Structure formats: C-alpha cells, structure tokens
Structure 1
Amino acid sequence: MQSGSILNRLPVIIIALLAVSAAVGLTIALQNSPKGPVVVIYTALDEQFSRPILDKFTEQTGIRVLAKYDTESTKSVGLTQALFAERSRPRCDVFWNNEMVNTLRLARDGLLQDRDSSLYAEFPTEYRSKENLWCGFAARARVLLVNTDLVSDQDFPSGIEDLCDPMWKDRVGIAKPLAGTTASHAACLFAVWGEERTKDFFRRLKANAQVLGGNKQVARAVATGSLAFGITDTDDALIELEAGFPVAIIYPDQEEDQLGTLFIPNTVAMVKGAPHEKSAQKLIEFLLSPEVEEILAAGPSAQIPLRPGVPKSDRVESPATVKAMQVDFQKAAATWNAAAQFLRSEFATAE
C-alpha cells in the first residue's frame, strides 16, 4: 500500500482505534462495577455539561451511570463508529448525541430501538423521529462570533457566505467539517442547497478560511484576536463573550432571501439490543424531562429548550425569536455518506 493511501485513511483508522478503546474500557468498568442497577451511555455532549446531569440521575434513581465521552476532534463520529462496530453485541444502552445527523444514520441502519410514542410526544415534530427512535432536546445555534476590536460595525458579517469574502482571507475560521455540529451543518447545507452549490461553498471556504480542530478553537481564536470572525456554536461563543473578550455573537442569515440560523438539538435514543433496557428507559425519560432542559438552559452552555413551556436563557436566541433554517434532517442524514466523502477529500489534511 502506498504511503499516501495510508495517510488518507488515518482519520478512519484513528476513529476505529478509539472505538476499540471505548469497548475495552467499558468491559473493565462493568466487570469491576459493584452490584446493582446500571446503565451505559455514550455521550458526545461535553463532559463538563453532561456529567452533572448524569450524576443527578444517579442521585434520584440509584442507577449508576457508566459514561463514555467523546473527544472534541471526533465529536459524535467516534461514538457513532463504536456503535456500528458493536452492533452484533451492543454494550451501550443510551446514545446522547450533541447533534442529529449521526443519530439519524444509526436509525437508518437499524441500530436504534423504538419507544412508546408518549415519551416524545411533547416535543416539536421536526425534532423527533416519526418512528419513535429518537428525540431532540436542548438545542444550540450555529453562530458567527466576531472580534469587535478587529471588525468595524459597518463590516460586520451577516451570513455564512461572508466567510468566503476575499477581504477576510486567512482572517476567518471554521472547525474541520468532519465531525460534530460542523459536520451536521455541512450535511444540512447539502440537503437545503443541493450538492453543486454546497461543494462550491466549501471549496471557497477552504481557500479563504483557517480550518481549526474544533468549535472551541475557533471561538478562542476569535476572542484572542487570531481571527476576525468565525463560525461556532452558541455554547462555545458564550464562554468567550462572558469571559470579557471583545466579541459579539451574530445569528446569521436573517434576511428574507437568506437561509436562517441553524439550530441543532441534542438527541437521545435507546440502542437496539440495549443490555440494560429498563434502566435505559428511565434515563431517557429523565434526559427529556423539563428539569434537564431547565438545567442545560440555565447552565454555562445556555442550551435552548425545545419542550414547549420550558423557559430559555435570555443569553441566547431561539427558533421563536430569530429566523431558523428550515431543514429536512432525514434528507440531511441521507446525504451524509456522499457529503462526508467530499468533505474528507477536501479537509482531511487541512489545518
């Protein structure tokens, strides 16, 4: 095999090794775990935000949670690959994803288990499965973070196309669009814009922007002045804004002829063949409770509740207060394989 071929496959090889590591770690944890009810969860939401929620579940139910967290660089993709690898002998009970597209990939391939429809019924139809396989909750928005010391008011960006403006060459940033919410955003653009326009956008973006390892890195680069502006998630943007850095958050594409801002929810689902089904059901019910959306809304990440009646933080906007991008998430998931192949070819060696 040629060295170039090996290099092109490195991201896939690394993700596969991470999946093996996760399986070994969970096997050891289960073998060494005290007796009593237990549930295994894979979660792509940052540990600093998800662990307190899981600890509260244990306090309330007595069910111990064994959690596998993902890394920033492989967000959701590494855990998804682990679930595919384990499909014949599931180890995980509940998948708490920080986006939608990879959850829908699992649903399309028959790796998720249907639940009673009443469990998801209170959430908007666009953010839950028609087959009761998954449900979305606690969203984040894809926003532009602008350094106000470097960008004058009259030059403020208004939409994602501004990332491709030559006047900002090498002064704007995006996370590598191979994992997490950046990959989900790309899949949504393929679904809404179509293949030709989306490929053109990402080629122009690659030529104009700095490509960083993750959304946190983009937000930090803007905050510290390494970039004039970049695209990130509301949780990462808020960290820099509330730390006192000279930044402003822009909800992009609000004009009548523009797409609107993309809101990406967390998703939760039970893995088909879950070893601890009763405990998994209780954990899913807890994660979808008003209590959890209130905690996530009030916390540092200010995640946006999707259950009607749960108040959002005044630190963020919501689909009720700004123009939201209208997406067929099922179509986005269906386009993912082709989209991912293109994005890997363009961005696998970027940075």
Structure 2
Amino acid sequence: MMVAGCGGTGVDGGQVVVYTSVDRIFSEPVLQLAEQELGTRVVGVYDTEETKSTGLVNRIIAKKENPDGDIFWSGDPGRAALLKSKNLTAQYESPAASTIPASFRDGESHWVGFSARARVLLVNTNLVSNENDPASIWDLAKPEWKDRVAIANPLFGTTSYHMGALFEALGEDRAREWLAAMKANGVRVVSSNGEVKRQVSSGQAAVGLTDTDDAAEAIKDGQPVRAVFLDQQSGDGEPLGTLVMPNTLSLIRGGPNPDAAKKVFDFLLSTRVQEALAASCAQAPLSAGVKATPGVITLDGVAPMRVDYAAVAARLDAIMPELKAWADSP
C-alpha cells in the first residue's frame, strides 16, 4: 500500500483522499491534473500490482467506523458493487455522468464507470498463425494448447472479476468445468496481467488472458503479439462475449471531505480525463463524443459479455476460497 500527495495547497475545499487500484503511473498524473484544476490537495492511495483492488477494499472495510478516504477509483466495477453491498459507499448523482451509458452506471448512483478495458487473448505472432487463433475460452483447454496458456492469479485484480463474471454468465457448474479443464491442460498461473504480457511477448507462453491496455502496451512496444477478442460468435444463439470492465468511481460513505470530493469526482468523469487515460494507458472512453486515440484497442463492434456487475460482485466473496484452491493446486 502506497500513499502519495500531489503537493497542492489545499486552500479550496481541503484535502481529498483517493484510493485507486489503477496503476500509479497512469492514475497519479490524473490526480495531479485534478489538483491543478481544482485547487484542492489530492492524495492518492495506491496498491501493488499483485493485490490491487483487493487490498484497497480490505482497507476501506477495516476503516468503516472512521474512514480516512473520500473516493474509491477502482479498475473494475466489482469492487465498487461489493462496497455498495456492505453499505460503505454513498449515493451521488454526478452531473458529469449524464454522457455515460446507463449500463455502466449503478442504478442507485453508488458508482459510475468512465473508461474501460476488456479481456482479450494476447497471442504471440511468432508462435501462432492467424488461422490458428483460439476463438473461445473453451479452445484454451484443448490439447493443442496444453502448457501454452498463461493467466494471472485469479485472486486479484481484473482476473478475479473475470472469474466471477464467468460464474455468473456460464453458471457454477460450467465455470467449474472450464477451470478444471484449464488446470488439467497445464495453464500457467502467473503473478499478474503484466506478467502474462511479458510471458506471451517473450514466447514463454503462446497465448495468455489479459486486458486490452496490457495488450495495447505490448503492441506499442513492438512485441510480436496481437489481441484477439474471444467468444464473439455462437452457432446456437447469443455468444458469450468478452468481459468489458469500466473503471468506476464511488464516494466512500462518511469520508472526511465529501463536498470537495464531489468536485474531484466530477472532474475524474470528464472527457478530458477519459482522453488522457486513452492516451496514457489505452483505456477506451465510455462517454459519447470523446475522440478516438491512435493505438487504443476500441470496443466498437465487440460483443460484450452480458453480466450484472452487482451480481458478479456478490459472487466474488463466495468463490474466493474455491479460486484460491484452484490457483494453489498443481
């Protein structure tokens, strides 16, 4: 857990503390920009790559009687929904949320999404030809991919949320069947999405499940990789689709500086910030009218996985012991 102030004067509205699971290299410049624009000191509380979101959520829960944070900026909506279910977030209908589709906003105004990643398969182009790209998560459990697939530890970050979404979309039995098939096929469980990117780029793994921002970064760096959206077609109805994960903002209930926090909250939803995140970390804007950024993997035409973010969040607590046992098993 890392804490850093952006160094402002705090003369207008006091200090606002933002817990964020978004990588510090991307989130800190945005918080600095908010501080400069609003004249309010903004303090970021950051987490590590391996425990992001989970560690921050646990801290918010531990401090529920005396919160020391004002805003939770999560890299996925599951943690925001989880905090809402524990009555740890406050309702706020931000005027800046009006341009964001309703599917990416909580119906009771406890959180709102503003920039998104999606789960993709990163493919090493030196090892896999286009015609042999897997088309579905189920393909990854086939014999031709034995010992060739990487995935981040499912206890943390977007991978845990992806697992919760699969339990919700497929049902428990089918999700467990897929996990068992992947383990039997020698899937590599690595420390993070960044490590998935590194292993696929280096050829240690032929393919790996990661996020669009990691994929875009590898492509920008000239690595021999391409990104593939899985489960985009189905022979018998609607496809499973790919999981789209917006960043979310929530006000922490009982936070020390709610009025100033709302101003920071509104600024973080602005098109200016969405454009900045697209440029810095390849996150696709969700507000209408935000200009496209070269190199960003867009979500245009992508079939999304249809899940209830709150329902996925409710599953996370229940399946964590199961996911831990799966990750730890040989």
What's the offset of the Cα at 1:317?
4.3
Contact residue 194 and residue 214 of structure 2 kept, 8 A: yes
- Counterpart check, 1:313 vs 2:290: no
1:262 is matched with 243
Q: Equivalent residue of 1:74, what SS?
A: coil
Amino acid at match of 1:187: G
1:288 is matched with 269
Amino acid at match of 2:271: P
Q: Equivalent residue of 1:188, what SS?
A: helix
Contact residue 140 and residue 265 of structure 1 kept, 8 A: yes
- Matching residue within 71, 77, 88 for 1:111: 88
What's the offset of the Cα at 1:320?
3.2
Q: Equivalent residue of 1:337, what SS?
A: helix
Aligned-partner Cα distance in 2 for 1:307–1:115: 18
- Counterpart check, 1:242 vs 2:220: yes
What's the offset of the Cα at 1:35?
6.1
Amino acid at match of 2:192: G
Q: Deviations over 1:80-100 (max 9, x none)?
A: 000000000000100000011
Q: Equivalent residue of 1:121, what SS?
A: helix
Q: CA RMSD in A?
A: 2.0
2:255 is matched with 274
TM-score (ref. length: structure 2): 0.93
2:171 is matched with 194
Aligned-partner Cα distance in 2 for 1:41–1:118: 20
Structure 1: give runs of 5+ residues left out of the alignment.
1-17
Aligned-partner Cα distance in 1 for 2:119–2:104: 16
- Counterpart check, 1:38 vs 2:19: no
1:203 is matched with 180
2:202 is matched with 224
2:305 is matched with 325
Contact residue 173 and residue 210 of structure 1 kept, 8 A: yes
What's the offset of the Cα at 1:324?
1.5
Contact residue 145 and residue 249 of structure 1 kept, 8 A: yes
Contact residue 153 and residue 191 of structure 2 kept, 8 A: yes
Amino acid at match of 1:309: G
1:343 is matched with 323
What's the offset of the Cα at 1:207?
2.6
What's the offset of the Cα at 1:298?
2.1
Q: Deviations over 1:263-308 (max 9, x none)?
A: 1010001100010111211110000011111111122x21111111
How many residues align? The count is 324
**Identical residues among aligned pairs (%):** 40
Aligned-partner Cα distance in 1 for 2:257–2:134: 49
Q: Structure 1: which 4+ aligned runs deviate by more than 4 Å? A: 32-35
Contact residue 176 and residue 350 of structure 1 kept, 8 A: no
- Counterpart check, 1:70 vs 2:47: yes
- Matching residue within 138, 141, 144 for 1:164: 141
Higher helix share goes to which structure? Answer: 1
What's the offset of the Cα at 1:173?
0.4
Aligned-partner Cα distance in 2 for 1:312–1:322: 16
